[in-house]
């Protein structure tokens, strides 16, 4: 068995070399992806970071089980309970009524969330008058978008040495966290997330974005696991979500193109156990189904952008503010 590879070696190797080298070192002639799948599943020893990096760059996503320990999972869930306890629905729900509230008010609340902790209701949690029809603890779709900076427990996990090593291993030189979310996927009402690419929303030139998606509960087919089209990150993005350049429009944000129709047969499910980390390439097509079960699917996720020789688009919906520039991963 070869010795461990220094961190970051994958940055100096192309994907084909990594795959062939892994086959030689393991004495196997299976297909590269089959070997990586077996390594990931624990059927073969893994002691080289570039094996996992190669799988990520080949497939566009990677599952790392047991990334978070039970204590970390418990601390994040406890932290979000405290945030919900402090949440006053009456102070926020007025901008989420389905009929009377101008879309501009909802857009403004969304656009101003980058340096704050804002609350976003689950569709079906409010009636047409903006009245809650479910319990406070079950009314939220997500909380975002500065948890990684404003809450100490989320900040500790987001800037942990383990996260830094992982980001470094997949090739980032000067990364920063752009935004973060806690997503609840509430039992019975947790809505579907249609097929999308994260770089649609957080665009850079050249494109270099990765999502870190932490399962805080067991994620199953029944409660709304992620689904991916492996390799779809290699063909670029289909559209962008930007601030509307037409300042006379009531719509403050727009998509540049309609969402394409994807072949549903190409999606593969990604159920994962509690504590897993899913790395999500910014350009891979992924989705999740509605939660029809009686169990929630709580996750924490944040998105990392590269800053070295990369330009963050000035018309992205999310922009750094005087209050919160995108904090560097390695500096914090």
CA distance 286 to 196: 6
Helix, strand, or coil (residue 142): strand
What is the pLDDT averaged over residues 2-20? 34
pLDDT interval class at 104 (50, 70, 90): low
147-200 per-position pLDDT tens digit: 999 999 999 999 999 999 999 999 999 999 999 999 999 888 788 899 999 999
36-53 per-position pLDDT tens digit: 333 333 333 333 477 888
Residue-level pLDDT at 113: 93
247-262 per-position pLDDT tens digit: 899 889 999 999 999 9
What is the pLDDT averaged over residues 133-142? 84
Between residues 30 and 259, the one the model is more confident about: 259
If one counts every other C-beta atom within 10 angstroms of the C-beta of residue 87, the result is 16
293-307 per-position pLDDT tens digit: 999 999 999 999 999
What is the pLDDT averaged over residues 127-151? 87
Give, in order, the Cα–Cα distances in Å from 122 to each of 103, 135, 185, 193. 16, 12, 8, 12
Residue-level pLDDT at 51: 82
- Which residue's entry shows tokens 């156990």? 273
What is the pLDDT averaged over residues 212-220? 98
Alpha helices (H) in the chain, listed in sequence order:
15-26, 32-40, 49-59, 70-86, 103-111, 147-150, 152-158, 161-169
Residue-level pLDDT at 6: 31
Query: CB neighbours of 206 closer than 8 A, spacing ≥ 6?
Result: 310
Query: CB neighbours of 15 closer than 8 A, spacing ≥ 6?
Result: 54, 57, 58
Residue 105 has pLDDT above 50, yes or no: yes
CATH architecture classification, 61-312: Sandwich (2.60)
3-state DSSP of 163-191: HHHHHHHCCCCCEEEEEEEEECCCCCCCC
CA distance 220 to 226: 9
Residue-level pLDDT at 95: 53
The two tokens of residue 105 are 């008010």
What pTM did the predictor assign?
A: 0.83
Q: Where are the domains of the chain?
A: 1-59, 61-312
Query: CB neighbours of 266 closer than 8 A, spacing ≥ 6?
Result: 229, 232
Query: CB neighbours of 167 closer than 8 A, spacing ≥ 6?
Result: 175, 210, 304, 329
273-293 per-position pLDDT tens digit: 999 999 999 999 999 999 999
pLDDT interval class at 24 (50, 70, 90): very low
Residue 97 has pLDDT above 60, yes or no: no
240-249 per-position pLDDT tens digit: 999 999 989 9
Residue-level pLDDT at 47: 39
């Amino acid at each position: 068995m070869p010795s461990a590879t220094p961190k970051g070696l994958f940055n100096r190797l192309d994907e084909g070399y990594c795959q062939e080298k892994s086959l030689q070192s393991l004495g196997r002639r299976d297909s590269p992806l089959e070997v990586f799948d077996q390594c990931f599943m624990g059927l073969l020893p893994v002691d080289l970071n570039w094996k996992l990096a190669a799988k990520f760059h080949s497939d566009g996503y990677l599952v790392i089980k047991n990334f978070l320990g039970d204590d970390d999972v418990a601390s994040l869930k406890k932290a979000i309970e405290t945030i919900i306890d402090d949440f006053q629905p009456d102070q926020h729900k007025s901008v989420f009524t389905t009929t009377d509230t101008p879309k501009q008010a909802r857009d403004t609340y969304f656009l101003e969330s980058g340096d704050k902790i804002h609350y976003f209701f689950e569709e079906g949690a409010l009636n047409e008058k903006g009245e809650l029809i479910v319990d406070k603890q079950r009314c939220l779709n997500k909380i975002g978008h500065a948890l990684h900076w404003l809450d100490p427990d989320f900040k500790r996990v987001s800037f942990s040495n383990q996260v830094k090593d992982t980001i470094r291993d997949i090739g980032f030189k000067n990364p920063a966290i752009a935004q973060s979310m806690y997503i609840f996927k509430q039992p019975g009402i947790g809505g579907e997330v249609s097929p999308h690419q994260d770089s649609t929303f957080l665009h850079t030139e050249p494109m270099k974005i990765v999502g870190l998606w932490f399962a805080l509960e067991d994620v199953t087919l029944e409660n709304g696991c992620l689904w991916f089209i492996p390799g779809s990150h290699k063909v670029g993005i289909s559209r962008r979500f930007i601030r509307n350049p037409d300042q006379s429009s009531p719509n403050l944000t727009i998509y540049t193109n309609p969402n394409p129709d994807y072949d549903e047969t190409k999606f593969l499910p990604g159920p994962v156990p509690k504590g897993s980390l899913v790395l999500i390439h910014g350009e891979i097509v992924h989705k999740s189904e509605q939660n029809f079960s009686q169990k929630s699917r709580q996750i924490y996720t944040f998105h990392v952008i590269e800053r070295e020789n990369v330009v963050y688009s000035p018309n992205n919906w999310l922009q750094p503010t005087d209050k919160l520039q995108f904090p560097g991963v390695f500096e914090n």
